[in-house]
Amino acid sequence: MANPRLRALTRWGKWAKKDWAIAAVGFTIILFALTLLFDSRNPATPDLLSAQDLVPLTLLHRAKATGAFCLDGSLPGYHFQKGFGSGSNNWLLHIEGGGWCNSIETCNIRKRTALGSSNYMDRLVSFAGILSRHPSQNPDFYNWNIVKIRYCDGASLAGHPESEFKNGTKLFFRGHLIWEAIMSELLSLGLSKAKQALLSGCSAGGLATLIHCDDFRDHLPKDATIKCLADAGFFLDEPDVLGNRTMSAFYHDVLQLQGVAKSLHKKCVRRMEPSKCIFPLEIIENVRTPLFIVNPAYDFWQIQHILVPTESDPHGYWRRCRLSIQECDSTQIGTLQGFRSSLLKALSKLEKDKEGGMFINSCFVHCQTWMAETWHSPNSPRINNKTIAESVGDWYFGRKPSKEIDCPHPCNPTCYNMDFTRGV
Report, as residue numbers or ranges, the catalytic residues: 203, 299, 366
Peptide bond into 410 cis (omega under 30): yes
3 touches ligand NAG (CB under 6 A): no
107 vs 149, beta carbon nearer ligand NAG: 107
Shortest gap between Cβ of 388 and ligand NAG (angstroms)? 13
282 vs 390, beta carbon nearer ligand NAG: 390
Residue type for position 4:
P
169 touches ligand NAG (CB under 6 A): yes
For residues 92 and 80, the answer to whether their CB atoms sit within 8 Å is no
For residues 193 and 123, the answer to whether their CB atoms sit within 8 Å is no
188 touches ligand NAG (CB under 6 A): no
Shortest gap between Cβ of 242 and ligand NAG (angstroms)? 4
165 touches ligand NAG (CB under 6 A): yes
220 vs 389, beta carbon nearer ligand NAG: 389
Total of chain residues touching ligand NAG, rule CB under 6 A = 10
Rounded to whole angstroms, the Cα distance separating 212 from 289 reads 10
124 vs 242, beta carbon nearer ligand NAG: 242
Q: What is the CA radius of gyration of the chain?
A: 20
Rounded to whole angstroms, the Cα distance separating 354 from 352 reads 6
Q: How far is CA 183 from the centre of its chain?
A: 19
Among 243, 316, 413, 423, binds ligand NAG (CB under 6 A): 243
For residues 144 and 227, the answer to whether their CB atoms sit within 8 Å is no
The β-bridge partners of 283 are: none
Among 104, 124, 272, 424, binds ligand NAG (CB under 6 A): 104
Q: Give the contact letters, 369-388, x = binds to ligand NAG (CB under 6 A), - = no.
A: ----------------x---
For residues 173 and 160, the answer to whether their CB atoms sit within 8 Å is yes
168 touches ligand NAG (CB under 6 A): yes
Rounded to whole angstroms, the Cα distance separating 149 from 421 reads 32
330 touches ligand NAG (CB under 6 A): no
Provide the binding-site residues for ligand NAG, judged by CB under 6 A: 104, 165, 167-169, 242-244, 311, 385
